[in-house]
């Protein structure tokens, strides 16, 4: 937590759940420093499914905005893929 003018700021997402005709909908409110402020999922049959749906949608949106790279890492455009056992030159190929 960070103290700001006597108040504490906790930069974690806040999950809110709402009942809809189609099921439960999850809203994710992201911190002010995030490129997105809110993500709204689609109606699901349970709270857990609604949270998973909204989280997947948030990841997809953050990736499209460039906040996450192809490895879903924040702010790292040039990732050392050799450390992950991958070679960037042939990462799309398969060896048999």
Render pLDDT for 64-88 as a digit per residue (tens, 0 to 9): 999 999 998 987 655 555 555 444 4
Q: How many residues does the chain have?
A: 96
Q: What is the mean pLDDT of the chain?
A: 81
Q: What is the rounded (10 degree) CA torsion for 16, 20, 24, 29?
A: -20
Mean pLDDT of 48-61: 97
Mean pLDDT of 32-46: 94
Q: Considering only residues 96 and 77, tell me which one the structure prediction assigns the higher pLDDT.
A: 77
Q: Considering only residues 10 and 52, tell me which one the structure prediction assigns the higher pLDDT.
A: 52
Whole-model pTM: value is 0.70
């Amino acid at each position: 937590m960070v103290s700001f003018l006597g108040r504490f700021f906790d930069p974690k997402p806040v999950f809110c759940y709402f009942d809809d005709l189609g099921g439960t909908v999850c809203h994710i409110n992201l911190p002010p420093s995030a490129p997105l402020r809110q993500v709204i999922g689609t109606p699901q049959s349970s709270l857990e499914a609604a949270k998973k749906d909204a989280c997947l949608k948030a990841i997809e949106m953050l990736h499209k905005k460039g906040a996450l790279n192809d490895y879903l890492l924040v702010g790292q455009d040039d990732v050392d893929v050799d450390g992950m056992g991958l070679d960037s030159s042939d990462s799309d190929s398969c060896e048999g």
